């Protein structure tokens, strides 16, 4: 387990490392989620600043030992932190390849990352004698299916509609023992998630506030605003899906646009959903056990 949560360890924990979107924000880093299922630790997306958030809650060896990276899709806000996480994990002593799974295009992107950082791989490998295996990205293009099944952890990729031919885009479901969670990735209203997330304890969903986005008309064209809204799910739409999935807790992350607050998101959600709801913030930890608890993750600040 990475770092020490506030309470006793429960089998399945989710930490929202970054809850933002492509626009830089000091409060909301790029989209990235840490999932801890027993001894298995993995990231879903690696947006801007993921390594900083990880380092706030974990030590170098703990970061080095993260088992797996899953990518929901290849929009830059979801992958721009991957080279940093990958290379820093190597500097921290990773001595085995880093598995990266995502939709078709993942292998090609990882191959190009290898080329982009060829200098660092060569020079650091030679001068600092880091393990050659630790700089290998073991990339896999996966199809919607069970993509991982080991140590009691089952991960299922499913397709979601991110609008406008932004394909492929995936969500993921994680099952561990009697507990489970689903993650929407980026999507507009798409009822297929009801089946994929059936029976989960926690459903983590992206969201847009159309009202806040529309208020940005002074700095953005109507056309651009309409486009952004068409790629994401509104609070009312998300609420209607939460109402049908009935998770023990519904969670918002990847909050668009950046200035959106919980006060903006909650009232429209309540028009369609009256169940448990948490508006995510960076380093929010959700501990799934007999109860589902939400905490700010304790920050370690290792020097
Ligand atoms: Zn995104
Ligand atoms: Zn996207």
Could you tell me the domains of the chain?
A: 12-296 (3.60.15.10)
Residue 10 has pLDDT above 80, yes or no: no
Ligand nearest to the CA of 21: 1
pLDDT band (50, 70, 90) for residue 8 = very low
Q: Look at residue 4 in the predicted model and tell me its pLDDT.
A: 46
- Predicted confidence (pLDDT) at residue 6 exceeds the cutoff of 50: no
Pick the ligand that lies closest to the CA of residue 188: 2
Would the pLDDT of 192 be above 60? yes
Does residue 247 contact residue 294 with C-beta atoms inside 8 Å? no
Distances, alpha carbon 224 to alpha carbons 166, 261, 280, in Å: 16, 21, 26
DSSP 155-184: EEEEE---STT----EEEEEEETTEEEEE-
Q: Return mean pLDDT, the chain.
A: 94
Q: Which ligand is nearest to the Cα of residue 48, counting in written order?
A: 1
Question: How far apart are the C-alpha atoms of 147 and 141, rounded to whole Å?
Answer: 10
Taking a 5 Å cut-off on Cβ, the residues next to ion ligand 2 are 75, 186
How far apart are the CA of 93 and the centre of ligand 2, in A?
32
| 186 C-alpha to ligand 2 centroid (Å) | 5
Distance (Å, whole) CA 179 – CA 131: 36
Give distance in angstroms: CA of 73 to centre of ligand 2: 7
138's CB contacts (< 8 A; 6+ apart) are: 97, 98, 99, 100
pLDDT digits (tens, 9 = 90+) for 199-257: 999 999 999 999 999 998 778 889 999 999 999 999 999 999 999 999 999 999 999 99
How sure is the predictor about 64, in pLDDT bands with cuts at 50, 70 and 90? very high
What is the predicted pLDDT for the residue at 7?
A: 46
What's the average model confidence in pLDDT over 162-172? 95
Paired strand residues for 174 = 155, 181
- Compute, in angstroms, the gap from residue 35 CA to the centroid of ligand 2: 20
CA 56 to ligand 1 centroid distance, Å? 23
**pLDDT of 149 higher than 90:** yes
Over 70: is that where the pLDDT of 303 sits? no
- Which whole number is the average pLDDT over 120-132? 88
**Ligand number with the minimum distance to the CA of 22:** 1
The encoded tokens of residue 57 equal 């809650």
Answer yes or no: is pLDDT of 3 > 80.
no
Active site residues: 77
pLDDT band at residue 298, thresholds of 50, 70 and 90? confident
Task: Locate the DSSP E strands across 38-145.
Answer: 40-46, 68-70, 98-102, 137-141
Strand ranges (DSSP E) for the chain?
12-18, 32-37, 40-46, 68-70, 98-102, 137-141, 146-150, 153-159, 170-176, 179-183, 202-208, 249-256, 277-279, 284-288, 292-296
Q: How many Å apart are CA 37 and CA 28, to the nearest integer?
A: 24
Enter the pTM of the model.
Answer: 0.95
Ligand 2 mean position to 104 CA, how many Å?
15
| pLDDT attached to residue 220 | 84
pLDDT score recorded for residue 70:
98
Report d(CA 142, CA 163) in Å as an integer: 20
Please check whether residue 232 is in contact with residue 186, taking contact to mean a CB–CB distance below 8 angstroms: yes
Say if residue 114 is exposed, middle or buried (CB neighbours under 10 Å; 0-12, 13-18, 19+). Answer: middle
């Amino acid at each position: 387990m990475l770092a020490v949560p506030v309470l006793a360890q429960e089998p399945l924990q989710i930490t929202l490392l970054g809850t933002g979107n492509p626009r830089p924000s000091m409060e909301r880093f790029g989209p990235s989620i840490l999932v801890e299922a027993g001894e298995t630790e993995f990231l879903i997306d690696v947006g801007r600043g993921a390594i900083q958030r990880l380092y706030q809650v974990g030590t170098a060896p703990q970061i080095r030992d993260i088992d797996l990276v899953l990518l929901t899709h290849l929009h830059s806000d979801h992958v721009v932190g991957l080279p940093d996480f990958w290379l820093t994990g190597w500097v921290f002593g990773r001595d085995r390849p880093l598995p990266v799974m995502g939709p078709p295009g993942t292998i090609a992107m990882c191959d190009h990352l290898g080329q982009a950082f060829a200098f660092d791989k060569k020079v650091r490998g030679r001068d600092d004698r880091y393990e050659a295996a630790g700089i290998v990205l073991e990339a896999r293009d996966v199809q919607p299916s069970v993509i991982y099944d080991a140590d009691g952890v089952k991960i299922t990729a499913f397709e979601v509609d991110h609008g406008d031919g932004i394909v492929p885009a995936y969500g993921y479901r994680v099952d561990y023992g009697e507990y489970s969670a689903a993650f929407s990735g980026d999507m507009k209203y798409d009822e297929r998630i009801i089946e994929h997330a059936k029976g989960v304890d926690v459903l983590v969903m992206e969201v847009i506030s159309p009202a806040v986005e529309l208020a940005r008309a002074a700095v953005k064209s109507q056309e651009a605003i309409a486009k952004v809204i068409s790629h994401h799910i509104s609070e009312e739409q998300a609420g209607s899906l939460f109402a049908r999935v009935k998770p023990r807790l519904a969670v918002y992350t990847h909050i668009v646009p950046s200035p959106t607050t919980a006060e903006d998101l909650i009232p429209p959600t309540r028009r369609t959903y009256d169940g448990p709801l948490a508006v995510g913030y960076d380093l929010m930890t959700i501990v799934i056990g007999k109860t589902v608890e939400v905490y700010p993750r304790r920050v370690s600040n290792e020097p």
